[in-house]
Amino acid sequence: MSRRFRGIALVALAASLALLALAGGPIPETLAVTPDLTVVTSSRYEVKPDEARVAITVDLTIANRLKDTVTRQFYFDRAYIAVMPGMTNFKVTAGTGTATAVVESKQATYWLLRLAFGSQLAAGKSITFRLAMDLKDPGGAPTRPIRISPTLVSFPIWAYGSSETPGSSVAVTFPADYAVQFDAGKLTGPKAEADGRRTWTATGLPDALAFYAYAVADKPGAYAETPLTVDVGGVPASLLVRSWPDDPDWAKRVGGLFERAFPVLGTRIGLPWPRTGALVVQEAVSRASGGYAGLFDAAAGKVEVAYYAGSLVILHEAAHAWFNGSLLADRWANEAFASWYGLVAADALGEKVTPPALTDALKAKAIPLNGWGAPGETPVDSEEYGYAASLDLARAIAARAGDPGLQRTWAAAARGIGAYQPPSGAPELVDTAPDWRGLLDLLEADGPSYGDLWTAFVARPEDLPLLEARTAARADYAALLQSAGAWRLPRTIRDALRAWQFTSAEEQMELARAVLAQRSDIEADAEGQGLTPPETLRTLFERDGLLAAALLEAASERTTIAAYAAALNSRPWQLDPVRWAGLLGVEPDADFAAARTAFAEGRLADAEAAAADARLAWLSALEMGQARLVSAGLLVLATGILVAVVVVVARRRRARLAALRPGMEPMASRRDAARRTSDRRDALRIGSTGRTFRPYRPAGAGGGAPSGSTPGGDTPGSDTPGGDPAADGRLADRRRGFDDDQVDGAGPAT
């Protein structure tokens, strides 16, 4: 949006407007300086667009306020009136006599018209005249103050009369189908005429020479449309230039400048063409553009450019294709860089422009740019200061950032990337365009400081504490980043910094510093114990809103490390037999290994439990060894007693069995039997071998009884009584088997 430069359209001529009179008779031909000759007028302006003129009719009542004396008489026969330059078709009519109107001289700001009365106006007398003249459209530059056409009408309005003489009036009549506004002067209306025309009036003027107005009217209707396509960084940009049908020069001038400017702007700004549909560039008047020479409506995709707008206004509006509220949020920032890039384009295109200057007079009316209100809501002085000051600020920013710094800032803003990005990973996006705070953060992300410029131009008094808090918070954040190393700070800290919620940011950074301090202690303690810290603390630290939980985790990890260290310290320097016995069946080293694994995996409870098991094993080894040795002794004793009891019981059982079997010698008495028959063994020894031989012949063998036996009697050399051969044979077998195994001193057989 560009403010209309009134100096282009209008020239204040009230100071040059005068009704001058020459005294008649002997009075020297000098200008009257007192209201001795008073003039009251009724001026009517009838707008005739189809004829490219305004018909002006001035009814004058001229009175001679002087009084004759005895010796002198006073009269006037002419007067001089200043009219607008370019007036034509002067015609004077009077009630009596013949009056004339002739241009006496021409100045840049007025023409001096001589009005001859055609008779003498005596003292105390008055006369009436009607002066008719035409104000025509001179053609030429679109910025000319007088334009009268079927589409647009703009012209100044003067009142005529003598100085400090009340009672004059002005009426302005327009055709019915025109939208009319008055940029200067106060007229009431409209009043509908019988033919449909409308009239605005200003009556009872206290001083006609102090009155000034400027009318602008346009006739709504069809536009002449000119489509254009411009290559902007390889992307076709569509334009639709809409001009008034009777103003083809505007379409050529404005459309051509947009067409040449867009490629330059795209390159210097560093962003692609931001629109998908066509951008409408439409001719307008001040009324249609809110009193401004240009107005960019991003939502409607339309930019209105006043018919009189100069090159800087046009280039300023062209830059608004990027800076229109979608890239930057604040008005001052969009106007600042639209103006700055407008000047950049003007220089590249060779357009001679005059930017608004921040004069001492404007500085005296300075406002913080954060207090620059919406269009139409700000006093004119503040508007002029806002444009000039914001342009100066943009110049200063561009000087520090350079094109690369500005282009990085615009690229981040266009992608929704906020400041304070993490060192790795996907960029963190924000939902809105950066305002004065976000813009400062983005500019300083990889560049110099701009805080002094924000203090001088942007900040309101209530914003200054925020700037101070920001300085401290940014320093703390930089130090925290250094301390965190590879660990990523939680996004909530960065979000608070981006939102300039510095109290919240500082509170979170304090928690983060506490966690990082614990991290250092944990790493040192864990290394001393041969432990690997788990990832749990880092995970909690990096997640949003879990710094307090991370502190609790750090405390738990230190507790676990302490428990592990206490378990290690309970291990004896060496194992004696008693402790060795106490550790049978348990493996403290395996428990320690399990504790290390569990700690590295973040299972702190399991790690503490395993360490506790190992500690308990070491501490109870002596007591357990002593108990086990005592138990072992008691077990051996019990075993001996049990064996003895078993032996006794076995013997008694064999004795009982022997008693139950008559004629059978118990197995337990074989050794006694062997001793009883020792004499017989000596008798049976054969040769010198020492082998005991016990001949045996079953009953009936050899066809008869052995020699030396008697039927029915005992066998010689036998202990067995005779009588039952079968019993004798069984007993012989039993004895043979026993003797073969039990007889001592047997030698090899021969």
The whole-number pLDDT of residue 95 equals 63
Are the CB atoms for 242 and 282 separated by under 8 Å? Answer: yes
> What pLDDT sits at residue 183?
83
pLDDT (mean) for 51-55: 96
Average pLDDT, the chain: 83
What are the helix (H) ranges across 530-546?
536-542
The SS3 of residue 499 is coil
Cβ-contact 160, 79 below 8 angstroms: no
Structure confidence by residue, pLDDT tens digits, 393-436: 999 999 999 999 999 999 999 999 999 999 888 999 999 999 99
Higher pLDDT, residue 348 or 666: 348
Mean pLDDT of 296-324: 94
* The predicted structure's pLDDT at residue 682: 53
Q: How confident is the model at residue 681 (pLDDT cuts 50, 70, 90)?
A: low
Task: Give residue 705's pLDDT band: very low, low, confident or very high (50, 70, 90).
Answer: very low
pTM strictly above 0.85 = no
Residue 710: what pLDDT? 40
In this model, does residue 4 exceed pLDDT 60?
A: no
- In tens, the pLDDT along 103-155 reads 999 999 999 999 998 888 999 999 999 999 999 999 887 778 899 989 889 99
What is the predicted pLDDT for the residue at 632?
Answer: 74
Residue-level pLDDT at 219: 86
Pick from 53-67, 262-276, 393-407, 561-575: least confident: 561-575
Which residue, among 13, 379, 362, has the nearest Cα to 185 in the 3D structure? 13
What is residue 467's predicted lDDT score, i.e. its pLDDT?
97
Confidence class for position 22, pLDDT limits 50, 70, 90:
very low
Q: 665: burial class by Cβ within 10 Å (0-12, 13-18, 19+)? A: middle
Task: Please report the domains of the chain, with CATH numbers, ordered by start residue.
Answer: 2-215 (2.60.40.1170), 224-415 (1.10.390.10), 678-705+712-742 (no CATH)
Amino acid 614: pLDDT: 82
Cα of first residue to Cα of last residue in the chain, in angstroms, is: 144
Instruction: Specify the DSSP element, H or E, that contains 133.
Output: strand 126-136
Per-residue pLDDT, 284: 87
Least confident of 41-45, 190-194, 284-288, 433-437: 284-288
Q: How far apart are CA 257 and CA 274, in angstroms?
A: 19
